[in-house]
Amino acid sequence: MRSKFDQQLSQLNKELIQMGAKCEEVIAMAAKALATGDCELAKNVAPVDKEIDQMERSIEGLCLKLLLQQQPVARDLRQISAALKMITDMERIGDQAEDIAEIVTFLGGRTGAECGPILAMAEASIEMVTQSVDAFVNRDVALAKKAIEHDDVVDDYFVKVKSSLISLIAEKPEDGEYALDLLMIAKYIERIGDHATNIAEWVVFSVTGTHKGEIL
Domain count, the chain: 1
Helix or strand or coil: residue 212? coil
Question: Which amino acid appears at position 109 of this protein?
Answer: G
Burial 61-78 (b: 16+ CB within 10 A, else e): ebbeebeeebeeeeebbb
Mean pLDDT of the chain: 92
**Cα distance between residue 62 and residue 142, in whole Å:** 28
The per-residue pLDDT for range 99-116, each reduced to its tens digit, is 999 999 999 899 998 888
Rounded CA-CA distance 60/85 in Å is 10
pLDDT band at 214 (very low <50, low <70, confident <90, very high): low
Residues 63/80, Cβ–Cβ less than 8 Å: yes
Listed range (1-10, 22-31, 201-210) with the worst mean pLDDT:
1-10
**Domain for residue 215, yes or no?**
no
Least confident of 48-62, 110-124, 181-195: 110-124
The amino acid present at 184, given as its one-letter code, is M
Cα gap 99→85, rounded to integer Å: 22
CA distance 35 to 122: 10
Query: What's the CA gap between 77 and 71, in Å, rounded?
Result: 9
- CA separation for the pair 159, 168 (Å, rounded): 14
In a domain, 55, yes or no: yes
Query: How far apart, in whole angstroms, are the C-alpha atoms of residue 178 and residue 101?
Result: 14
Number of other CB atoms surrounding residue 169 within 10 Å: 16
Residue range(s) defining the domain that contains residue 133: 2-208
Predicted local confidence at residue 211, as pLDDT: 79
Share of the chain above pLDDT 90, in %: 78
User: Nearest 5°: phi and psi at 182?
Assistant: -65, -35
* Start-to-end CA span in the chain (Å): 35
The reply to whether 181 falls in a domain is: yes
Q: What is the pLDDT of residues 55-87, one digit of tens each?
A: 999 999 999 988 887 777 778 888 899 999 999
Mean pLDDT, residues 193-211: 93
Of 45, 153, 186, 125, the residue nearest 178 (C-alpha): 186
| C-alpha pair distances (Å), 170 with each of 11, 41, 119, 166, 209 | 54, 31, 21, 6, 51
CATH of the domain at 32: 1.20.58.220
